[in-house]
Structure 1
Amino acid sequence: MDETDFEWLDPRAIDCFLTNVYRVERLATGMRWTEGPVWFADQNCLLWSDVPGNRMWRWTEDGHVDVFRAPSGHANGNTRDREGRLVTCEHQNRRVSRTEYDGRIITLADCFEGKRFNSPNDVVVKSDGSVWFSDPDYGIMTDYEGGRADSELGCCCIYRIDGQTGGVSRVADGYVRPNGLAFSQDEKLLYVAESGGSHTPGAPLKINVHSVLDDSRLGPASLFADFGDVVPDGFRIDDRGYLWSSAGKAIHVYAPDGMPVGRIRMPENVANLAFGGCRRNRLFITAGTSLYAVYTAARGIQIP
């Protein structure tokens, strides 16, 4: 498939890419660093963050683009909970928040054992209502994506907010900078991007996978994919178990066994992605200053 945005590495790419779709579309531009796309099927719209721009944006199916929230607390990752409410990681406020049906924004968690989080980055919600998020230090390194500050915790870890009690527990440590998160469709596995090498020479750039234990703890990390010298960020799992990850100027697609099957080349560095559209087969991509989209042969996992 010459002269396209797609690179096929394995015959299984036929499960991912459409043979009659050759180009990625740019839907919006003019932001500073786009992140955190989340699809709202009931409203036929996509929300995403411009982290340094301190705004959240909205794109609707008719092509309209407007500001959803400003200021946003330098919002980064977004998802929906099992009741359809928006859950957001905010760098500036160093918290995970939830937007209620009436528009109120409440804090789900902003500290662990009395110490403020670094800058919550990416977030997923499990079917039991628990909220899992990564907490690297990107938002406190400078004033560009949050507010420069020393880490009170002294580490970058993954946390869980209990869906019933609101209690916060640390579920994984040993990461330099944990980043993107996604559960497998059966929720027995949690995939975690390690982007430590983005600012620490020699630190790893990879995606790990953990078993989710019955008591809501994580088993030891196992390597799923090594990204070499490019930085993995946000990613999603489709309904066949393929993993679609941002890294550099491409989306890298991996089969469930960890083998790369294909890439989508992009004009800007990719930060994150999300499946959406009426059949969940449209991949929305936040990259650099823009929002992009492409139709795929895959479907994303159903989200409220």
Structure 2
Amino acid sequence: MIKQLSVMLLAAVSLGMMQPSPETIGSIERLDPELDKVISPGARAEIIATGMDWSEGPLWVERHKMLLWSDVPRDTVWKWTEKGGKEVYLTPSGYTGSIPRKGEKGSNGLVLDPKGNLVLCMCGDRRMARMDAPLDAPQPKFITLADNYKGKKFDSPNDAAYSPAGELYFTDPPYGLERQHNDPLKEMKFQGVYKVKKNGEVVLLIDSISRPNGIAFFPGGKQLLLASSDGAAPNWYIYDVNENGLSNGRIFYSAKNQGQGLRGAPDGMKINKNGYVFSGAPGGIWIFNRSGKLIGKLSGLKAPASNCTLSGDEKTLYITNDMNILRLKLRE
């Protein structure tokens, strides 16, 4: 009887009548009881898509119930839906030039502007741009939002966030240049964090972080969090936001002397409506409260977790984990 039941279940799966359960990965480390407010006991991350070269920049689009992310080496944005699974969404996504090049040429961070248009950090083109097509009919047509500061080209815009005022903030590390900091095409002497005003003016906000990476606003938009992926300064920095730029910069949390032997660094992140921070970090995703206390981790991942995004109701966290895309159910 048990053998017959097993055969019937396998047949149902093969005919599409039943879907196999997604593979789980990693484990939750509860470093503080406060984590129970964020993640339910027993939660596990699931692999919902795989086969990427290097996944980055996840974006949940609530209106279309779809997840988008960049596959940077493949110069492609992928799409995932519960019904359709993984599909190519847009290619090319970061490099529209005609001269063949290596390195991280595709898009990286993805974000929606205040009007709901897709904005991409285009590493290969070294610009911030808006896709000139509807979200449900994507095309590789782009309108440049910013590609230089005072006449000098950016290195490779990496991650971005819109402020509540509708201004675009983004980071510009050297990762998209073929030889990074030593690339002959590099025009800046520093790595910058920038703001694009509504009139298109580009403002340099910070030039003192050697590898600026993830960027996110706390609820209310009066504080900004930045991640430094430099192994010599693996920190998250917090700044006060004002009309003149950023001020009162200080370390929010430092991973110095932590995570030895683990892959990954302070990277892309998202902050929920209650001020909890989810960030790519050594070994997986680290979770902080608004005061900068590390309250938990998703650890035990075999590859770096580069970034994450929240569903519209903030009950699900989607994670770009190198070749995999993960889904982690949060507290209801």
Match for residue 237 of structure 2?
A: 208
Larger Rg: 2
CA shift at 1:267, angstroms?
A: 3.1
Match of 1:225 among 253, 269, 285: 253
User: CA, structure 1 residues 60+216, in 2 after alignment: closer, same or farther (shift >3 Å)?
Assistant: farther
What residue ranges of structure 2 are gaps of 5+ in the alignment?
1-24, 95-105, 260-264
Match for residue 27 of structure 2?
A: 5
User: CA, structure 1 residues 218+68, in 2 after alignment: closer, same or farther (shift >3 Å)?
Assistant: same
CA shift at 1:71, angstroms?
A: 1.6
Match of 2:320 among 270, 286, 289: 286
Deviations 1:87-108 (A, max 9, x none): 1101100000111344542110
Q: Quote the Cα distance in structure 1 between the aligned partners of 2:81 and 2:203.
A: 37
Q: Quote the Cα distance in structure 2 between the aligned partners of 1:63 and 1:149.
A: 43
- Please say if 1:260 is aligned against 2:294: yes
Deviations 1:34-73 (A, max 9, x none): 0000011000101000111211100012152111111212
Q: Is the 8 A contact 2:49 2:85 kept in 1?
A: no
State the SS of the aligned residue for 2:213: strand
Match for residue 230 of structure 2?
A: 196
CA shift at 1:127, angstroms?
A: 2.1
- Please say if 1:274 is aligned against 2:309: yes
TM-score w.r.t. the length of structure 1 is: 0.89
Match for residue 80 of structure 1?
A: 112
Q: Quote the Cα distance in structure 2 between the aligned partners of 1:280 and 1:259.
A: 20
Match for residue 45 of structure 2?
A: 24
User: CA, structure 1 residues 166+217, in 2 after alignment: closer, same or farther (shift >3 Å)?
Assistant: same
Q: Is the 8 A contact 2:161 2:169 kept in 1?
A: yes
Q: Is the 8 A contact 2:164 2:220 kept in 1?
A: no
One-letter amino acid of the counterpart of residue 194, structure 1: S
Percent of paired sites with the same residue: 34
Q: Is the 8 A contact 1:35 1:272 kept in 2?
A: yes
CA shift at 1:216, angstroms?
A: 4.3
Q: Is the 8 A contact 1:95 1:110 kept in 2?
A: yes
Q: Is the 8 A contact 2:269 2:279 kept in 1?
A: yes
- Please say if 1:94 is aligned against 2:94: no
User: CA, structure 1 residues 152+253, in 2 after alignment: closer, same or farther (shift >3 Å)?
Assistant: same
Give the 5 Å matches for 1:123-138. Answer: 123-138=160-175
Q: Is the 8 A contact 1:156 1:175 kept in 2?
A: yes
- Please say if 1:179 is aligned against 2:201: no
Q: Is the 8 A contact 1:140 1:149 kept in 2?
A: no
Paired positions, count? 284
Match for residue 67 of structure 1?
A: 88
Give the 5 Å matches for 1:26-175. Answer: 26-73=47-94, 74-102=106-134, 103=139, 104-142=141-179, 149-163=184-198, 165-175=199-209
TM-score w.r.t. the length of structure 2 is: 0.82
State the SS of the aligned residue for 1:233: coil
State the SS of the aligned residue for 1:246: strand
Q: Is the 8 A contact 1:141 1:149 kept in 2?
A: no
CA shift at 1:149, angstroms?
A: 4.2
